[in-house]
Amino acid sequence: MNRVILAILGIMAALVLAIGVLVIVLVATGGGDDSGDSTQNGQTGDNGEDGGGGPAEGELRLLGPEPLSLDPHIAQDADSAVYIVEIFGGLMTLDPQLQLQPDLAAEIPTEQNGGKKVNADGTVTCETNSGAPYQNVIIVAKSGGDFTSIQAALDSIVDASAGNPYLVRVGPGVYSERVTMKPFVDIEGAGESATRITAAGGAITVATVTGASNAELRFLTVENTGSGQYAQAIFLSNASPKITNVTLLASGSTYGYGVGIYASSAPTLTNVTANIAGPGYNSVIYNSDSTPVIQGSTLRASGGSVGNYAIWVGTGTVQVLNSTLVAGNPVRVQTTAAYARIASSKLDGGSNLNYGPSNALICAGVWDENYAFYMSTCP
């Protein structure tokens, strides 16, 4: 019996020893990685690091569970907070001795430096470091920003490029001005119901906003109040911006356009809500020799005694996906050089007009205002 017990203990000891040796080998070789980046005999691998089993180039090793979100506005779990506190700074922070120290703030607010003075609206003013604001972010606001005019903010930018893009962030309010976008400069409002750019009407090339390529307009309302021959919210000529989460309004002129698109433009409109309501001729999209893509949008034209169109195509090709078109004639294809492609969308109104060849207007999986479904034809 004793010999059996000793034999069992000997086997267990051998197993423990074997496992220990295996662990040592795995640690020494970086966990058995045979990707070719690990090293032997003190030589460095292809990524220039020593052979100590460190992280490979481009590899991120998390300290714990994967965070649910790195957005401090929505993250509520402790795992995400571990990373967020290392990425984002606040006005103040605690040092290793748990003493309050300035972080983004220029100094700790005191009664002596005015930092503890409460403003009339209940806020406390705290000056930030000169290097604290985000690079290439310009704030437009009714007060307290870098500029009170969107166009003035754009005019101040002289070095925007693909490698040096800018963001013009516009606070709540109504901004009565015409705006000409710049390449590599995005314009972002505080929300479609909070930020509004408005201007009067004019000639066909005059609009509230004139677009540019390699730029995005988002989270605001663009309005043209008319009084000239044309009330046009956005004008594009050889320009292909992104227009995202934008409300378009135009009224008060003989011709009302949401977006006039000309000269080889190729914009992308996503989640756009438009209401074009002039007394004569209204078209949310007026397209000439261009290729716009419209997705997830609601385009409405009404009130015109001559015609109301959600999409008017003179030349070029317009693609519409997952959208709602509401007008007396939702789509009008005007010439033999014009094409419209409508898919997974609602066409609410009268008949669609096609003055081009039979394949100029193609619908796939659409329905009308009564929810009658059309698999491969247009209502």
pLDDT tens by residue, 255-278: 999 999 999 999 999 999 999 999
- Percent of the chain at pLDDT exceeding 90: 63
Q: What pLDDT score does 70 carry?
A: 78
- List of residues 6+ apart from 356 with CB closer than 8 A: 333, 334, 335, 336, 337, 338, 339
Lowest pLDDT segment from 35-44, 91-100, 119-128, 369-378: 35-44
Which regions of the chain carry the CATH code 2.160.20.10?
Answer: 137-374
Q: What pLDDT score does 45 carry?
A: 43
Residue 60 has pLDDT above 60, yes or no: yes
Higher-confidence position of 182 and 60: 182
Average pLDDT of 164-169? 96
Q: What pLDDT score does 114 carry?
A: 60
Read off the tokens for 162: 């693909």
pLDDT tens by residue, 69-117: 877 767 778 777 777 777 777 777 777 777 877 777 667 777 666 666 5
Q: What pLDDT score does 46 carry?
A: 45
| Spatial separation of the C-alpha atoms in residues 143 and 282, rounded to whole Å | 37
| Spatial separation of the C-alpha atoms in residues 60 and 35, rounded to whole Å | 16
Q: What pLDDT score does 139 carry?
A: 95
Reported confidence tier of residue 166, pLDDT bands at 50, 70, 90: very high
Burial 355-364 (b: 16+ CB within 10 A, else e): ebeeebbbbe
Residue 15 has pLDDT above 70, yes or no: no
Q: What pLDDT score does 54 carry?
A: 54
| Spatial separation of the C-alpha atoms in residues 319 and 310, rounded to whole Å | 13
Residue 18 has pLDDT above 70, yes or no: no
Residue 127 has pLDDT above 70, yes or no: no
Reported confidence tier of residue 168, pLDDT bands at 50, 70, 90: very high
- List of residues 6+ apart from 371 with CB closer than 8 A: none
Burial 264-294 (b: 16+ CB within 10 A, else e): ebbbbbbbbbbbbbbbebbbbbbbbbbbbeb
pLDDT tens by residue, 305-330: 999 999 999 999 999 999 999 999 99
pLDDT tens by residue, 208-243: 999 999 999 999 999 999 988 999 999 999 999 999
CATH number of 137-374: 2.160.20.10
SS3 content of the chain, % helix, strand, coil (to 5): 10, 35, 50
pLDDT tens by residue, 129-139: 655 556 899 99
Q: What pLDDT score does 21 carry?
A: 45
